[in-house]
């Protein structure tokens, strides 16, 4: 790699990190505004015009908060855990293409930091690392509530990682490649969402569980664990966990948009490459709205039901989706995939319905 390519990669990385951190700050504002609308209240409106400076006020408050480390905590691990959680949230988007190549300063620049040929494997690998930070935070705090939250996070990750990985397999089969740019190219005719709608839903449910977002936020259930794995954290260390959650929301939304909704593709993007990042941003914004809507609408799932849903419903459904996708490709009948997938999804919904009915009658 020559020096020009090196500095290009460094500048693109810094721009992406800055964009993600700014996006995290204003995603909190976006979520508060949307939740306020759902709940018929105002939301943040004091700091700055329309409350737009509220994220800045929150950042200043967290910076100046006193940081307390418990006397019996394992200090080195306690300090490292928030960093281990935050870094994967930033690193995971390195392989996401934000657009086609553009010409700047007389030089053709790719809007991807690293277009590796095993991009799907990279995403799955990096996404699995973040759970170590949560587990280590719970263990190093030397607090029973925190430890329970860390253990819950481990069990939850194992349960839903399998369905997440199998959903990736369906996309890899449809694109015939593990390279993210090739997956986008394969969606020029039709988005993978329309070929595999149930696979998209399974992927999104599994990512919500990976993010520990409601209704899958059992590792930090306030009613049971008094905040869970991060209960002993304060100041900027707590802010890093907060940043990691919201940054991962943006990262996961960009991955879903890329794998199932055509990524940066849209009308006129071939003539005007700068439209690519705009299209991807709009898709991310819509997916984030969906995550916030789910948080506003669904109650937290009881822990045993959460685990049963992962093992008894999502995992068999994800296996069925992989089989159906492979069968459709083998028979060269892609139109068959959504029909059979919707049938498998209907069976899964009926299984959930029967399970809930049995438990209701058992009472």
Write the DSSP assignment of 238-297 as a string of letters. HHHHHHHHHHHHHHHHHHHHHHHS-TT--TTTTT-TTHHHHHHHHHHHHHHHHHHHHHHH
Please state the domain count of the chain. 1
Six-digit token pair at 177? Answer: 């490649």
Q: How far apart are CA 75 and CA 288, in angstroms?
A: 35
Q: How far apart are CA 197 and CA 179, in angstroms?
A: 21
Q: How far apart are CA 102 and CA 12, in angstroms?
A: 13
Confirm whether 212 is domain-assigned. Answer: yes
Rounded mean pLDDT, 141-150? 82
**Please, are residues 120 and 175 in contact by the beta-carbon 8 Å criterion?**
no
Rounded mean pLDDT, 59-65? 82
Residue 286: give the domain boundaries: 63-362
Confirm whether 10 is domain-assigned. Answer: no
pLDDT, tens digit, 9 for 90 and up, residues 207-226: 888 887 878 877 666 666 66
Query: Which region among 224-233, 265-274, 287-296 has the lowest average model confidence (pLDDT)?
Result: 224-233
Confirm whether 134 is domain-assigned. Answer: yes
What percent of the chain shows pLDDT beyond 70?
Answer: 94
Rounded mean pLDDT, 19-25? 84
What is residue 172's predicted lDDT score, i.e. its pLDDT? Answer: 92
Confirm whether 324 is domain-assigned. Answer: yes
Query: Which region among 8-12, 55-59, 103-107 has the lowest average model confidence (pLDDT)?
Result: 103-107
pLDDT, tens digit, 9 for 90 and up, residues 348-362: 888 877 776 666 555
CA 20 to chain centre: 13
Confirm whether 322 is domain-assigned. Answer: yes
Confirm whether 54 is domain-assigned. Answer: no
Confirm whether 53 is domain-assigned. Answer: no
Confirm whether 25 is domain-assigned. Answer: no
Confidence of residue 274 (pLDDT cuts 50, 70, 90): confident
């Amino acid at each position: 790699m020559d020096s020009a390519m090196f500095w290009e990669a460094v500048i693109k990385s810094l721009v992406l990190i800055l964009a993600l951190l700014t996006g995290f700050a204003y995603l909190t504002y976006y979520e508060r505004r949307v939740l306020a609308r759902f709940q018929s209240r105002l939301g943040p409106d004091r700091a700055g015009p329309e409350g737009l400076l509220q994220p800045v006020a929150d950042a200043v408050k967290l910076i100046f908060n006193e940081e307390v480390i418990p006397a019996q905590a394992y200090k080195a691990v306690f300090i490292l855990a928030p960093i281990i959680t935050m870094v994967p949230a930033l690193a995971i988007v390195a392989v996401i293409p934000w657009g086609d190549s553009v010409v700047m300063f007389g030089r053709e620049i790719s809007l991807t930091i690293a277009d590796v040929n095993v991009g799907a494997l990279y995403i799955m690998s990096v996404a699995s690392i973040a759970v170590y930070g949560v587990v280590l935070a719970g263990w190093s705090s030397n607090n029973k509530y925190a430890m329970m939250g860390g253990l819950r996070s481990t069990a939850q990750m194992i349960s839903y990682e399998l369905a997440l990985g199998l959903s990736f397999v369906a996309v890899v089969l449809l694109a015939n490649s593990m390279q993210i740019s090739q997956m986008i190219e394969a969606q020029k005719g039709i988005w993978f969402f329309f070929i595999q709608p149930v696979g998209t839903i399974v992927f999104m449910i599994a990512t919500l569980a990976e993010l520990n977002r409601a209704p899958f936020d059992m590792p930090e259930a306030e009613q049971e664990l008094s905040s869970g794995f991060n209960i002993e954290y304060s100041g900027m260390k707590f802010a890093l966990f907060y940043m990691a959650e919201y940054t991962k929301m943006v990262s996961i939304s960009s991955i879903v948009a890329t794998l199932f909704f055509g990524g940066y593709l849209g009308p006129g993007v071939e003539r005007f490459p700068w439209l690519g990042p705009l299209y991807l941003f709009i898709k991310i914004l819509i997916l984030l709205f969906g995550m916030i809507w789910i948080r506003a609408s669904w109650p937290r799932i009881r822990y045993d039901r959460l685990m049963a849903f992962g093992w008894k419903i999502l995992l068999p459904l994800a296996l069925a989706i992989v089989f159906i996708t492979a069968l459709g490709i083998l028979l060269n009948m892609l139109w068959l995939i959504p029909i059979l997938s919707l049938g498998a999804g209907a069976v899964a919904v009926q299984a959930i319905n029967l399970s809930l009915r049995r438990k209701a009658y058992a009472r």
